[in-house]
Structures are given as C-alpha cells and as structure tokens.
C-alpha cells in the first residue's frame, strides 16, 4: 500500500522523469528522430487538408453546380491521400527503427552494468528478475517508443492545427468540438494516474514469475529427485495468478474508460448536428463547413480516444523504465580506484593482513585473518563447512572487498590495482564450476580464445582429462550440454581446472575444486 501511494503522489514527476531518461537514448539517432517528427508534421498537415477539400467539393462543386471543379476534386483527394499515406508510412517505419535502436542500447547498457557488478549484487538479485528487466521491461519501453511517443505528439499537433482550422471555419461549432475533446483528454489523464502503480506491480510480479520459472528449469533434476513437481507447480501457479490478477485490475480500468470516452465524443456529435443543422438551415454556415467540422471530429476521435491507451503505455513504460534504471544506477561495491595501476611482473607473494569481512558490514563473518603465502608456496585452508574458506579465496581477486585490513600481492593492495590486471594474474577454480553450452575445446579455451589445440590438449592432460576426451565421438569438438549436464561432477571440475591452467596465472586458487574427483586423480593433478 505504501508503494502505491508513493507513486500516486509522485505520478507526474516520476513518470516524466523516467520517460525523459528513456528519450535520452534517442541521441544515438538524432537525424532519424528529427525525420520522424518531420513525417509526423506531414501526416498532421495532410490530415487537416482532407476535410477542407471535401468542404470545397460541397460548397463550390455541388452547391454551385461547378462541374469542372467536381471533375478535378477526385484527383485532389487522391493526391492528398497519397501524401498522407506516404507520411504515415515514414512515421511508422521510423517509429519502429527508433524503438529497436533504443531497446538495443538499453539492453547493451544493462548487460554491461550487470557484468561490472560484484558478487554481492548478484547475491541480492534473483537471476529471473534480472532477466525480466532485460526482456519484458525493455520490451515495454520499446513498444512505447514505437507507438506511444510519436502518437502522443501527433495527437497534440493534430489537435492544435485542427483547432485553428475549425475556429476559422465557424467559431461556434469549433467551441462545441473543442469543449468535448479536453474532457476526453482529462479523463484519460486521470485514468493513467491510477494505472501507473498497478502496472508497476504487474512488472514486479512478472519478475517474480520469471524467477520461479528460471529456478524450476535450472533445478529440474532436484525437483524430480524429491518428487516435488506438484509443489513447484503450485508455486508457479501462484506467481502466474498474481500476474493475471494485477493485469486484469489494470485492464478493467482501461476497458471502462474507452466506452466512456466514446460516449463523450458522441455527445459532441449530437451537439454539432443539432446546432450546426440549425445554422445551415438559417444560412449562417455552409453545409460544406458543417460536414468538414464533422469530418474533423471523426479524424480527431481516434487519436483522442487513443490518449487513454497511449497514457497507459506511457505509465507502463515509466514503470518498466524505473525497474531498468534501478539496475543501471546501481553502484558497484567493487570498482577500480581513480589512480589504480596495472599489476605487472607478478612474483606471487600474497598476504592477508588483519582481514575482516562480512556480507553485511555490521555482521562480520571473518575476523582478523592473517596469511602469508610466499611465491611457489602451497597454502591449505582447513575448517568445517561454513567457516569462511571460500569467502577468503574470493577476497583475493576482489569478487568482494574486505571490510577491514588489506590483501596484498607483492606488497601492493589489491584495491590499488586495476581489477582486470588483478584477475589476469589470479586464477580461481570454484567449487561448483560453470560450463557453457559449447564444445569441450570452447569451454577450456574460454579465457584464451586464441589458444591452439596443442595448448588445450596440454592443460587437459595436466587436469587428467585428456584420456576421457579421446573416448568421446568428436573428441575436443564434443558438445557440452547446458551447465555441463552431460558430464559428471568430477569431469566438470577437471575441465574448470584445465580452463584456469590455460591462463597460466601467477597465483592459483583451488576452492575445493577436486571434491568430486577420486583420490588418485586428485593426487596426479596436484
């Protein structure tokens, strides 16, 4: 409830702020953006011309029996229609072009931001939720850029130009028409204000829904092993139902709004016919002028009625933009210092000096850790499960930063060197190795794409994996399934070891990396 109230109070400022940031991405295609608005202006201009041509046909051609003009009039209408169609095509194509370009740049920025983030960021954010922001939310923004942004501007331009023309035709008829249209617009604005918090909840629910789906797919084997298919289905149905309920609540408001605005426009039509008919009978206005005003009401009806839908798209885009910019604005806990230097000529002297660390700084889990590892020396960390062994190893390559003390390599604090150069010199094999959907060669050469087959074979032999690979049908070109599901736990660990050895790091960390390997093979690897 607090979330809803906060967004209702800050509707105008919040939605405008988020969407203005999205509009900032149009800077990548300024020429196309300007051309799109030229097309928009042309569409509005030709849209205003058509009723004027019809007025002249009635007043000059039919009323005065001007046969020459009646012969010429169809050609004028065809030319105006061709011009209108050409500008509408350009507007539609450029809207699509701009929307796809904006979406591409937002996705690139999201991916780059997530790549820069520390492990702590990914600890806090579920994978499915991040995927939802990069797909569903970006798609909502793209749809608004494609249809909503230009259409809102077009409606405004068309309204202004039509207002000028209608008032010049007859100011009384013009006032009747222009009194009804702002009422429709005000109603649309009021509805969009109610919809924004609802659509934000829908976007958040879709993030939860995606997370449940992603976890269920990745953990499919665990689910089957514990016979929990029904339980997981119930969890999935709950998340799925939440999306449905919130979406229906938003669409119920929109569904009621459309016929209400149609009724308001029909009331304007009745008033125009009644008063305009009286004027025509008493020759206070021409029949052509009345028909033109009715045509303008018709031409304005669709854009004005679509204001509700467009503002609905505006609010959905603002809600999606907020979720996207939450990621783009997230500060990374681990980053290069302003004067960070390259770590070069590494001998490999590693020291932990009074190191303390906690995932929550107020609750440290490591206290005053001191380690002195000389170059060439093997250091083993022993302790029960959950004692912090893995956490200690992740402080050296700065997956996390220490909360107290310091970690040094050859006397240099790891926070004073660039992250890229640090991690090039520190190789780490994690306890739960991750393999990509690629060949065995591609997985081993992941860190060194230019590695030759001979180099890959050499590290595979060192990891005691080569003999197994040669038994496979395609040897090193054998495809590894998602996350290495086609391999055993020991084979995945040995492939991860080979991948790290190919980097030839000066400091090597094995985080229980042979836990799934038999004792003889572990001895040979060491």
What is the secondary structure of 358-403 as a DSSP string? Answer: -SBTTB-SEEEEEEEE-TT--------TTSSHHHHHHHTTTSS--S
Decide if 52 contacts 165 (C-beta within 8 A).
yes
Tell me: the pLDDT tens digits for 136-185? Answer: 888 888 888 887 777 778 877 887 888 888 888 888 888 887 777 777 76
Query: Sign (positive/negative) of CA torsion 130, 135, 136, 139?
Result: positive
Mean pLDDT value across residues 286-305: 78
Name which of 73-82, 100-109, 299-308, 425-434 the model is least confident about.
Answer: 299-308
| pLDDT attached to residue 8 | 40
Confidence (pTM): 0.67
Instruction: Name the 3-class secondary structure at 34.
Output: helix
* pLDDT for res 513: 63
Q: What is the mean pLDDT of residues 479-495?
A: 76
Instruction: Provide the percentage of residues in the chain whose pLDDT is more than 90.
Output: 1
Full 3-state SS string of 257-275:
HHHHHHHHHHHHHHHHHHH
């Amino acid at each position: 409830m607090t979330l809803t109230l906060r967004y209702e109070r800050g509707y105008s400022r919040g939605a405008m702020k988020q969407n203005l940031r999205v509009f900032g991405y149009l800077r990548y295609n300024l020429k196309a953006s300007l051309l799109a608005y030229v097309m928009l202006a042309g569409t509005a201009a030709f849209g205003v011309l058509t009723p004027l041509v019809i007025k002249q046909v009635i007043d000059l051609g039919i009323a005065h029996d001007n046969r020459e003009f009646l012969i010429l009039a169809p050609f004028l209408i065809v030319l105006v229609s061709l011009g209108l169609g050409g500008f509408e095509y350009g507007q539609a194509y450029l809207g699509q072009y701009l929307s796809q370009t904006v979406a591409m740049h937002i996705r690139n920025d999201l991916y780059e931001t997530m790549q820069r983030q520390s492990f702590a960021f990914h600890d806090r954010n579920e994978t499915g939720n991040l995927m939802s922001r990069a797909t569903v939310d970006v798609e909502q923004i793209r749809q608004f850029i494609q249809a909503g942004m230009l259409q809102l501007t077009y409606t405004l331009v068309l309204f202004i130009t039509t207002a000028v023309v209608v008032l010049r035709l007859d100011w009384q008829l013009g006032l009747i028409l222009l009194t009804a249209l702002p009422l429709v617009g005000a109603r649309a604005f009021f509805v969009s204000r109610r919809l924004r918090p609802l659509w934000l909840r829908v976007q958040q629910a879709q993030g939860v829904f995606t997370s449940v789906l992603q976890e269920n797919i990745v953990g499919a084997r665990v689910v089957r092993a514990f016979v929990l298919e029904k339980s997981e289905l119930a969890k999935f149905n709950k998340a799925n139902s939440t999306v449905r309920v919130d979406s229906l609540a938003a669409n119920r408001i929109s569904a009621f709004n459309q016929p209400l605005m149609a009724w308001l426009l029909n009331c304007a039509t009745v008033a125009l016919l009644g008063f305009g008919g009286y004027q025509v009978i008493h020759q206070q206005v021409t029949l052509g002028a009345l028909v033109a005003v009715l045509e303008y009401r018709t031409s304005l009806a669709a854009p004005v009625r679509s204001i509700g839908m467009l503002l609905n798209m505006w609010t959905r885009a603002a809600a999606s933009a907020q979720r996207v910019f939450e990621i783009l604005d997230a500060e990374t806990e681990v980053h290069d210092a302003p004067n960070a230097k390259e770590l070069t000529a590494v001998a490999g002297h590693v020291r932990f000096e009074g190191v303390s660390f906690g995932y929550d700084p107020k609750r440290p889990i490591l206290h005053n850790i001191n380690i002195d590892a000389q170059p060439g020396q093997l250091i083993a960390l022993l302790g029960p499960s959950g004692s912090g062994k893995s956490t200690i190893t992740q402080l050296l390559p700065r997956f996390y930063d220490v909360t107290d003390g310091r970690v040094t390599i050859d006397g240099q604090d790891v926070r004073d060197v660039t992250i890229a150069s640090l991690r090039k010199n520190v190789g780490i094999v994690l306890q739960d190795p991750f393999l990509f959907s690629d060949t065995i060669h591609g997985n081993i050469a992941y860190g060194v794409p230019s590695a030759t087959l001979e180099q890959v074979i050499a590290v595979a032999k060192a990891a005691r994996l080569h003999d197994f690979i040669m038994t496979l049908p395609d040897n090193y070109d054998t495809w590894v399934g998602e996350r290495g599901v086609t391999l055993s736990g020991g084979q995945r660990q040995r492939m991860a070891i080979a991948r790290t050895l190919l980097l030839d790091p000066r400091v090597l960390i094995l985080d229980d990396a042979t836990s799934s390997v038999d004792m003889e093979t572990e001895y040979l690897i060491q």
